[in-house]
Amino acid sequence: MLGLADSVSDRAALIGAVNTVTFKQDGSIRGDNTDGYGFIQNLRQNAPDWDPRSGPALVLGAGGAARAVVSALLSEGVSELRLANRTRQRATLLADQFGAKVQVVDWNRASDAVDGATTIINTTSLGMQGQPALGINLGSAPPNATVSDLVYTPLITPFLEQAATLGLKVVDGLGMLLHQGVPGFELWFGHRPEVDEGLRMAVLDR
């Protein structure tokens, strides 16, 4: 979709992907990426005490969703971001794009990278229904850590179950899906929807 747009927003260019398009009066197509916006709004809504500057972040995965998450976290002021991916080369390529604040961690050391991380995000498909478990030990996470999983089938993954058992703040991935649609809906229909419990329940009941 990125190649079809005549122009793209700065965040879409940085992420390298488009998920929202609008058609201008001159017939041109404008591309944007709202995944990072949706991710941050989900955290702020469901973990209102979350502070991106409270400590390092750990992002698991290096795909398109991870790219949006890394970009958003750095924009929010995270001073150190640890990035682990099953294929280290892919993580290195992503880190090279975003600069020195992003430090690549070997996948087999990802549990060690939990130590001190106050924002921990799974962007992989591990833990999704039908997929193997993530297999990351959160035992060394600080008590003020916020743990999120972009997977929302199941809504509470084994990764989030582990975090909840440890008393950490957990944020599921459904809210990101809902929030990322808000900017596009407003552009297309002239109305800004509210992401509330009613909307969540409507989606879950489908």
In a domain, 182, yes or no: no
Distance CA 97, CA 116 (A): 24
- CATH number reported for the structural domain that contains residue 23 in this entry: 3.40.50.10860
Q: Is the pLDDT of residue 152 over 90?
A: yes
Residues 104 and 24 in one domain: no
State the pLDDT at residue 2. 57
Tell me the per-residue pLDDT of 154-206, one tens digit each, with 9 for 90 and over.
999 999 999 999 999 999 999 999 999 998 888 788 889 999 988 888 888 87
Mean pLDDT lowest among 2-16, 39-53, 84-98, 167-181? 2-16
Contact 142/55 with Cβ under 8 angstroms?
yes
State the pLDDT at residue 8. 75
What mean pLDDT do residues 10-21 have?
A: 78
- Supply the range of the domain harboring residue 10: 2-34+188-204
Tell me the per-residue pLDDT of 36-69, one tens digit each, with 9 for 90 and over.
999 999 999 999 999 999 999 999 999 989 999 9
State the pLDDT at residue 7. 72
In a domain, 181, yes or no: no
Q: Which of 166, 145, 163, 139 is nearest to 54 (CA)?
A: 145
Residues 142 and 152 in one domain: yes
- CATH number reported for the structural domain that contains residue 48 in this entry: 3.40.50.720
State the pLDDT at residue 52. 97
Averaged confidence pLDDT in the chain = 92
Token pair, residue 2, equals: 């990125």
Distance CA 63, CA 29 (A): 25
Q: Enumerate residues 6+ apart whose C-beta is below 8 A from 181.
A: 34, 38, 193
Residues 46 and 25 in one domain: no
Residues 55 and 26 in one domain: no
Residues 70 and 138 in one domain: yes
State the pLDDT at residue 202. 84
Domain count, the chain: 2
DSSP 197: H
Q: Which pLDDT band holds residue 1 (cuts at 50, 70, 90)?
A: low
